Amino acid sequence: MRTAAIIPAFDAERTVSEVVRSVARIWPQADGPPLVIDDGSHDDTARRAREAGAEVLSHRRNLGKGAALRTGLRAARDRGFACAVTIDADGQHPAEEALRLAQMDVDPRALVLGIRDLAAAGAPRANQASNRISNFWLSLFARRRLHDTQCGLRRYPVAEILALDPRDDGYAFEAEVVLLALRAGLLLEQVPIRVVYDRDDRTTHFHVVKDPARIIVRVFRTLAR
């Protein structure tokens, strides 16, 4: 099963080189280089990713993480990949954990979610709180316990997810996909993963108040569909 490594990136010049190199070093050669989606960065993200060995697709302007993920999934589909593992560009996801998700012996049509232990990893308390809020609302509407609805380390079944027509351009894309997948009867696996939060160069564009609110709004819009 060919699995693409997709790295959405926005203004990530400080970390993207290391992320690309660590993934490329262990990813199966038959699956090609990591695919970085440069989401309209204002810095040297695209150049540094390319120099580190990635294939880079760039948006002319910043469209949002959801838009970057859609671009990556469509590119993976066009290249014949059955699955794609998404990895954040800020260095919080060890390459070994991404490869473990890629090689898990589960149905290739399943959506596999990485589950972080934010408290043990030393994540800021605001991030822990916003994640709990999102988990509560999505679990309520999904009628299933969801342990981490904001984690960017995931394995997507490419054709199946694109067929669901997820529409959100921002961080709520990842919540929307979960609801659409469950509604369509896709299998969903939740897998504990290790993450790294003690990096001085880590940059996040996730707003701990505004983005959870947007996620909840997207939940209602998805339910209305």
Chain segment 85-106, per-residue pLDDT in tens:
999 999 999 999 999 999 999 9
* Better-predicted residue by pLDDT, 119 or 54: 54
pLDDT of residue 211: 61
Place 177 in a pLDDT band, splitting at 50, 70 and 90. Answer: very high
pLDDT of residue 130: 81
pLDDT at 31 over 70: yes
pLDDT of residue 1: 82
DSSP at 80: T
pLDDT at 9 over 70: yes
pLDDT at 121 over 90: no
pLDDT at 225 over 70: no
pLDDT of residue 224: 62
Strand ordering across the sheet containing 3-9: 55-59, 35-39, 3-9, 83-86, 154-157, 111-115, 188-192
pLDDT of residue 219: 66
Strands 3-9 and 55-59: unpaired
pLDDT at 202 over 70: no
Place 208 in a pLDDT band, splitting at 50, 70 and 90. Answer: low
Give the chain's end-to-end CA distance (angstroms, integer): 32
Average pLDDT across the chain, whole number: 90
Q: Among the listed ranges 49-53, 83-87, 201-205, which one has the minimum average pLDDT value?
A: 201-205
C-alpha distances out from residue 41 to 12, 52, 128, 167, 222, Å: 8, 17, 27, 22, 29
C-alpha distances out from residue 132 to 145, 154, 181, 204, Å: 12, 18, 21, 18
Q: Of 90, 80, 53, nearest to 198 (Cα)?
A: 90
List phi, psi (to 5°) of 182: -65, -40
Domain chopping of the chain, boundaries: 3-224
pLDDT of residue 169: 92
Check whether domain 3-224 has CATH 3.30.470.20, yes or no: no
Compute the distance between CA of residue 220 and CA of residue 175 in angstroms, rounded to an integer: 11
* Better-predicted residue by pLDDT, 221 or 187: 187
Place of tokens 């699995």: 3
| 196-208 mean pLDDT | 61
Residue type, 212: P
pLDDT at 186 over 90: yes
